[in-house]
Structure 1
Amino acid sequence: MMADSTNPLVSVIIPVLNGERTINDCLVSLLAMDYPAPLREILVVDNRSTDRTAQIVKAHPVRYVWEQQRGVATARNTGIEASHGKILAFIDADCVAGTGWLRELVQGFKNDPQIGAVVGDTVAYPPETQAQRYMAKRNPFWQMPHVRSPELPWFHVASTAFRRGVFSEIGLFDPLLVACEGVDFSRRFFKNKHFKVAYNPRAMIFHRHRLTAIDLFRQYQAYGRGMAALCHKYPEEISWGWRRELRAYADLLTSALALGRAAIGSKKALEPKEASYRYLDLVRKTGARVGFTYGLFRNEFKRG
C-alpha cells in the first residue's frame, strides 16, 4: 500500500475484547467509508476475547492481531506497533463510523504540518434501552468542551487520528492504567509544544452506550479507578484529596435522599422517564465514587 499525492496511507486501529455483539457493524461501516480503500489498513487487536470475535473479524478483509496482555492501552500500543500508516486513527469496537469519518480526519492534517491530532466527534448510536437513552441525553463524549477545557484538556481517543510522529515524540499509551489512558495521553500531548490539535465535528462516529444499569456502574467504576490512578501519577497537576472526596460522597448521599423522597413521599409522583434518569444518574455517580475511592486506597497502600 502506498500513499498518493493527496491522501496518505492511514491505519485504523480497533481494540476489542469480547465484542461479538458489535464488531461486525463496526467493520462493515469502516469498509464502507469513502476514503480510498488501497490507502487504508484496518487492524483489529483482539485482547484475548473468548467469544466469537475472532471468527467474525476474520470473515472481513482486515488485519487481525492477537494481544495476550489485557488492557485497552496495551491493545492500542500493539496496533500502533503493527501498523504501517503515516496517520493512525482510532475507533472502538462498539462504534460505527460515518461514511466520511476518515476522509474528514485526514483533511484536518493537510493545511498545517504542526497539527499532530485531529479530533472528530462521537454521538450516540440509536438507543435500545433506558440506560442507553440516558447516556445519549448526557452526551459524555462530545469532544469540544473537553478539548477546550482550561483545567485539564483531553480528547476521546476513539474518533481521533494522529500523525505517527506523535507517538515517537511523546510515547505510547500507559499500559498500567485500567481506564482514562486517553486522558493521560492527552495530557502529554497538550504539554508538548511541537503539536497542535484540530477539531472537526464532521468526522463523526456513533457509539453504542452500555445496555444496563449494572453495565453503566461498571463502566464508571473503571473511570473512577482510572482518575484515581491519574491523581497518583500527577499529584502536582491533578489535586483531589480526601476532603474533596468526602464532599463528593456528601453530594452523592444528598442525591440519593432526594430520589428516595421523590419516589416515596412526594405528593406529585415523578414521571417514569424522569425517575429512571435520576436512578441512572445515581448509579453512574456511585460507580465513579466507588472506583475512585478504591483507586485512592490502592494507590495509598502501594505508596505506604
Structure 2
Amino acid sequence: MSHEPATDYSIIIPAYNEAELLPATLERVNAVVAEITSHRGEVVVTDNDSTDSTGEIARRHGARVIEEPIRQIARSRNAGGKHSRGRYLIFVDADTLITAELLRQSLAALDGGDCVGGGTLIDARGDRTHAGWAVTVSVSSWNLLSICCNWACGAYVFCRRDAWEAVGGFDETYYASEEIHFSNALKRWGKANGCKFRVLRVHIATSMRKFHWYSPLRILGMCLRLVLQPSRMKSREGCGLWYERPES
C-alpha cells in the first residue's frame, strides 16, 4: 500500500445504517477540521453495506465515500484507510462527537515523532435515565481498563499511516475487539521503532445506544460469553451485540 499523502491526516468513519446519528458526527468533524488550521485534513466515510441513506448523507456533508460490501467493522476501517490520503489516520465511530482539543492533542502527539498512535477516554452522550447505573459503571470500567492496559477504545483511534500499514491494519479475523488487537500490534511496532502508544486524557462523547436497545443483564451475558469463549469474536454470529439491531 503506497500513498503520496495529499493531506496531513484522514478522519475515517465506518458506517452501517447511520442515517440518524451520522449528520451530527459529520457536522462536528467538519467544524473541528475547519478550526485546526495548522494541518490539512480530509474526511472519509466507509459505507459498510448500508440499506438507508448513510452514503448520501456523507456525500452531502462533503465526505469522500468508500463502499465496503462485506459487513465487518475491521474491514470497514481498513477500507477507509486504504483509500485515504493522510500520513496520519484517525478512526472515529459514526455515533461519536470529537473535539478540537482532542484532534489538536492527537496531531501534536504524532508530530512529536515518538508516538505511534493511541486513543482517548470516553463519556456517554445523551439520556442516562435508562440503565443509567449500567452506563456509568461500563464507562468508568472501560476508561480504567484503557488506562491500565493502554488500549484505545473503538470510538477513537489515531495512528501513523506507516505503522498502520506495517501491522496490516485492523485484524479482519475479528468481528469484535479489533481495536484492542490493533492497539497491541501498534505497541509492539512502536517498541521496535522507539515510539509509544498513548491514551489521551480528553473525554469524547459517544452514544450508549446499546443500553437503550438491550437490558444491562443481556449485555453482560453477551460480554461474558465472549470472555469465556474468545473464539466467538471471530464470527459475526458470536458478536451480535455489534452487528444486530432491534427492529424499529
**TM-score normalised according to structure 1 size:** 0.66
Q: CA deviation at 1:37?
A: 8.9
Q: CA RMSD in A?
A: 2.8
Specify the code of the residue in structure 1 equivalent to 2:201.
Answer: P
Is 1:289 aligned to 2:224, yes or no? yes
Superposition pairs of residues 200-215 of structure 1, within 5 angstroms: 200-202=200-202, 204-212=203-211, 215=213
Q: Deviations over 1:210-260 (max 9, x none)?
A: 2545x346xxxxxxxxxxxxxxxxxxxxxxxxxxxxxxxxxxxxxxxxxxx
Query: In 1, Cα distance between the equivalents of 2:100 and 2:171?
Result: 31
Specify the code of the residue in structure 2 equivalent to 1:286.
Answer: G
Is 1:89 aligned to 2:57, yes or no? no
Which structure is higher in strand share?
Answer: 2
Specify the code of the residue in structure 2 equivalent to 1:124.
Answer: A
Answer whether contact 2:5 2:85 (CA < 8 A) is retained.
Answer: no
Query: In 2, Cα distance between the equivalents of 1:191 and 1:44?
Result: 28
What is the DSSP-based 3-state SS (H/G/I as helix, E as strand, rest coil) of the residue aligned with 1:86?
strand
Q: Indicate the residue corresponding to 1:16 in structure 2.
A: 15
Query: In 1, Cα distance between the equivalents of 2:144 and 2:185?
Result: 18
Q: CA deviation at 1:114?
A: 2.5
Superposition pairs of residues 220-239 of structure 1, within 5 angstroms: none
What is the DSSP-based 3-state SS (H/G/I as helix, E as strand, rest coil) of the residue aligned with 1:13?
strand
Superposition pairs of residues 182-197 of structure 1, within 5 angstroms: 182-192=179-189, 193=191, 194=193, 195-197=195-197
Q: Indicate the residue corresponding to 2:157 in structure 1.
A: 160
Q: CA deviation at 1:200?
A: 2.3
Query: In 2, Cα distance between the equivalents of 1:212 and 1:139?
Result: 12
Q: CA deviation at 1:144?
A: 5.5
Q: CA deviation at 1:160?
A: 2.3
What is the DSSP-based 3-state SS (H/G/I as helix, E as strand, rest coil) of the residue aligned with 2:86?
coil
What is the DSSP-based 3-state SS (H/G/I as helix, E as strand, rest coil) of the residue aligned with 2:134?
helix
Q: Indicate the residue corresponding to 1:121 in structure 2.
A: 121
Query: In 2, Cα distance between the equivalents of 1:15 and 1:140?
Result: 25
Q: State which drifts further: 191-200 or 135-144.
A: 135-144
Q: CA deviation at 1:104?
A: 1.9
The correspondence for 2:170, drawn from 166, 173, 181, is 173
**What is the aligned residue count?**
226
What is the DSSP-based 3-state SS (H/G/I as helix, E as strand, rest coil) of the residue aligned with 2:127?
coil
What is the DSSP-based 3-state SS (H/G/I as helix, E as strand, rest coil) of the residue aligned with 1:148?
helix
Answer whether contact 1:127 1:133 (CA < 8 A) is retained.
Answer: no
Q: CA deviation at 1:100?
A: 2.6
Answer whether contact 2:9 2:89 (CA < 8 A) is retained.
Answer: yes
Answer whether contact 2:15 2:50 (CA < 8 A) is retained.
Answer: yes
Query: In 2, Cα distance between the equivalents of 1:133 and 1:172?
Result: 35
Q: CA deviation at 1:108?
A: 1.5
Answer whether contact 2:59 2:65 (CA < 8 A) is retained.
Answer: yes
Specify the code of the residue in structure 2 equivalent to 1:83.
Answer: S
Answer whether contact 1:109 1:118 (CA < 8 A) is retained.
Answer: no
Q: Deviations over 1:253-303 (max 9, x none)?
A: xxxxxxxxxxxxxxxxxxxxxxxxxxx2x332212234556665898xxxx
What is the DSSP-based 3-state SS (H/G/I as helix, E as strand, rest coil) of the residue aligned with 1:130?
coil
Is 1:146 aligned to 2:146, yes or no? yes
Query: In 1, Cα distance between the equivalents of 2:208 and 2:232?
Result: 29
Answer whether contact 2:91 2:156 (CA < 8 A) is retained.
Answer: yes
Do the aligned partners of residues 38 and 196 (structure 1) sit closer, same or farther apart at CA in structure 2, a change above 3 Å counting? closer
Specify the code of the residue in structure 2 equivalent to 1:184.
Answer: H
Query: In 2, Cα distance between the equivalents of 1:41 and 1:103?
Result: 15
Q: Deviations over 1:185-225 (max 9, x none)?
A: 122222232231123223x4210012545x346xxxxxxxx
Query: In 1, Cα distance between the equivalents of 2:12 and 2:108?
Result: 18
Q: Deviations over 1:116-170 (max 9, x none)?
A: 0132222111225513663144315754642433xxx422143221011112222
Query: In 2, Cα distance between the equivalents of 1:171 and 1:28?
Result: 31
Answer whether contact 2:116 2:159 (CA < 8 A) is retained.
Answer: yes
Q: Indicate the residue corresponding to 1:62 in structure 2.
A: 63
Specify the code of the residue in structure 1 equivalent to 2:176.
Answer: A
- Structure 1 gap segments, 5+ residues each: 218-279, 300-304
